Amino acid sequence: MNAESRTRLDQTPEWTALAEHREELAGTHLRELFDRHPGRGAAYTLRVGDLHIDYSKHLVTDRTLELLRGLAAATDVAGLRDAMFRGEKINVTEDRAVLHTALRAPRDAVVEVDGENVVPKVHAVLDKMAAFSERVRSGEWTGHTGRRIKNVVNIGIGGSDLGPAMAYEVLRSFTDRDLTVRFVSNVDGADLHEAVRDLDPAETLFVIASKTFTTIETITNATSARDWLLTELKAGQEAVARHFVALSTNAEKVADFGIDTANMFEFWDWVGGRYSFDSAIGLSLMIAIGPERFREMLDGFHLVDEHFRTAPAEANVPLLLGLLGVWYGNFHDAQSHAVLPYSHYLSKFTAYLQQLDMESNGKSVDRDGNPVRWQTGPVVWGTPGTNGQHAYYQLIHQGTKTIPADFIGFAEPVAELSDALKAQHDLLMANFFAQTQALAFGKTPDEVRAEGVPEELVPHKTFRGNHPTTTILARELTPSVLGQLIALYEHKVFVQGAIWNIDSFDQWGVELGKVLAKRVEPALTEGADVPGLDESTKALVGTYRELRGR
Whichever of 137 and 363 has its CB closer to ligand F6P, that residue is 363
What is the C-alpha to C-alpha distance for residues 163 and 186, in angstroms, rounded to an integer?
15
**Known catalytic membership, residue 422:** no
Whichever of 155 and 408 has its CB closer to ligand F6P, that residue is 155
Residue 159 as a binder of ligand F6P (CB under 6 A): the answer is yes
Determine the interface stretch with ligand F6P among 137-145, 156-164, 328-336, 405-413 (rule: CB under 6 A): 156-164
Whichever of 88 and 94 has its CB closer to ligand F6P, that residue is 94
Residue 274 as a binder of ligand F6P (CB under 6 A): the answer is yes
Percent helix, strand and coil across the chain, each rounded to 5? Answer: 55, 10, 30
**Known catalytic membership, residue 514:** yes
Helix (H, G, I), strand (E, B) or coil at 373: coil
Near ligand F6P by CB under 6 A: residue from 215, 360, 462, 471: 215
Nearest to 128 by CA among 302, 279, 274, 238: 279
In degrees rounded to 5, what are phi and psi of residue 484?
Answer: -60, -45
Question: What is the nearest approach in angstroms of ligand F6P to the Cβ of residue 509?
Answer: 9
Q: Where does residue 183 rank: exposed (0-12), middle (13-18), buried (19+ CB within 10 A)?
A: buried
Cα distances from 136 to residues 293, 504, 536, in angstroms, run: 16, 37, 51
| Residue 112 identity (one-letter amino acid) | E
- Catalytic pick from 58, 359, 363, 491? 359
Question: What is the nearest approach in angstroms of ligand F6P to the Cβ of residue 359?
Answer: 6
Whichever of 49 and 158 has its CB closer to ligand F6P, that residue is 158
Residue 96 as a binder of ligand F6P (CB under 6 A): the answer is no
Determine the interface stretch with ligand F6P among 158-166, 176-184, 187-195, 454-462 (rule: CB under 6 A): 158-166
Q: Which residues have C-beta within 8 Å of that of residue 449, sequence separation ≥ 6? A: 455, 458
Strand partners, 209: 247
Cα distances from 98 to residues 114, 275, 492, 503, 504, in angstroms, run: 12, 9, 15, 11, 10
Helix (H, G, I), strand (E, B) or coil at 154: strand
Binding mask 326-365 for ligand F6P (x = CB under 6 A): ---------------------------------x------
Question: What is the nearest approach in angstroms of ligand F6P to the Cβ of residue 511?
Answer: 8
Nearest to 307 by CA among 449, 550, 484: 484
Near ligand F6P by CB under 6 A: residue from 64, 101, 185, 210: 210
Near ligand F6P by CB under 6 A: residue from 423, 510, 517, 540: 510
What is the C-alpha to C-alpha distance for residues 520 and 531, in angstroms, rounded to an integer?
9
Whichever of 272 and 483 has its CB closer to ligand F6P, that residue is 272
- Catalytic pick from 4, 390, 460, 546? 390
Question: What is the nearest approach in angstroms of ligand F6P to the Cβ of residue 272?
Answer: 7
Near ligand F6P by CB under 6 A: residue from 33, 125, 157, 171: 157
Q: Where does residue 449 rank: exposed (0-12), middle (13-18), buried (19+ CB within 10 A)?
A: middle
- Catalytic pick from 514, 518, 526, 538? 514
Residue 211 as a binder of ligand F6P (CB under 6 A): the answer is yes
Determine the interface stretch with ligand F6P among 131-139, 184-192, 205-213, 525-533 (rule: CB under 6 A): 205-213
Which DSSP symbol is given to 434? H
Residue 507 as a binder of ligand F6P (CB under 6 A): the answer is yes
Whichever of 212 and 220 has its CB closer to ligand F6P, that residue is 212
Residue 125 as a binder of ligand F6P (CB under 6 A): the answer is no
Whichever of 246 and 323 has its CB closer to ligand F6P, that residue is 246
Whichever of 211 and 226 has its CB closer to ligand F6P, that residue is 211
The dihedral of CA 383, 386, 388, 393: what is its sign? positive
The dihedral of CA 249, 377, 304, 340: what is its sign? positive
**Known catalytic membership, residue 401:** no
In degrees rounded to 5, what are phi and psi of residue 205?
Answer: -110, 130
| Residue 347 identity (one-letter amino acid) | S
Chain-centroid distance, C-alpha 3? 31
Which residues in this chain contact ligand F6P in the complex, by CB under 6 A? 157-160, 210-212, 215, 218, 273-274, 359, 507, 510
| Residue positions annotated with a catalytic role | 359, 390, 514
